[in-house]
Structure 1
């Protein structure tokens, strides 16, 4: 089964969103409350990789699907908000079904 560019976008958004939540709610508390700064180094590096991949896939999807400028701008903005990718995914799914 061939996947659409939007399915790759949704998967990358999910992975990026999960990595942000792990960074904020697991790695950062471990750094400040348990004295383990190495956790932030590792998780932060992985999150950075997933973020760059997410931005590249957003650009690819924008070009392939010919999205208007609102979707990629929203995609970049929500990447900085905890749970933002999940809300955007819900809106995208809602738009696809309509």
Structure 2
């Protein structure tokens, strides 16, 4: 793995938590609020925000798939986690480990190149 892979994993981690919280926090809260009050105007902006976060997550997941050469099962797991409420929080925990491994591999490769020179 190289630093580009670690960077792609880091970007995916940055969006996984907000995306994971956007469904339960925004949509369920907005839905409950619209049912108990006359505030219906919040649902569309909250839905759009959730949709934008999901699309960004999906694009960044495809980027990680391309750079990290993940197997399809792993990509499918992270996609399913994005569909589950709070799934992004669990995905972030897993991504943190993958990111740390990528950074360590990148440093080890860089140090071995320096020592060989």
TM-score, normalization by structure 2: 0.72
Aligned-pair distance for 1:19?
A: 1.6
Question: In the alignment, is the contact (CA less than 8 A) between 2:13 and 2:96 conserved in 1?
Answer: no
Question: In the alignment, is the contact (CA less than 8 A) between 2:9 and 2:99 conserved in 1?
Answer: no
- In the aligned structure 2, how far is the partner of 1:97 from the partner of 1:67? 16
* CA deviation vs aligned residue, 1:42-88 (integer Å, no higher than 9, x gap): 11011111111110110011101111112210111111211111112
Question: In the alignment, is the contact (CA less than 8 A) between 2:23 and 2:50 conserved in 1?
Answer: yes
1:48 to 41, 48, 51: 51
Q: 1:10 aligned to 2:13?
A: yes
What's 2:91 paired with? 88
Q: Which of 1 and 2 has greater Rg?
A: 2
Question: In the alignment, is the contact (CA less than 8 A) between 1:12 and 1:54 conserved in 2?
Answer: yes
- In the aligned structure 1, how far is the partner of 2:98 from the partner of 2:72? 15
Q: 1:36 aligned to 2:39?
A: yes
SS at match of 2:41: helix
2:74 to 59, 71, 74: 71
Structure 2: runs of 5 or more not aligned: 102-117
Work out the number of aligned pairs and report it: 97
Aligned-pair distance for 1:23?
A: 2.1
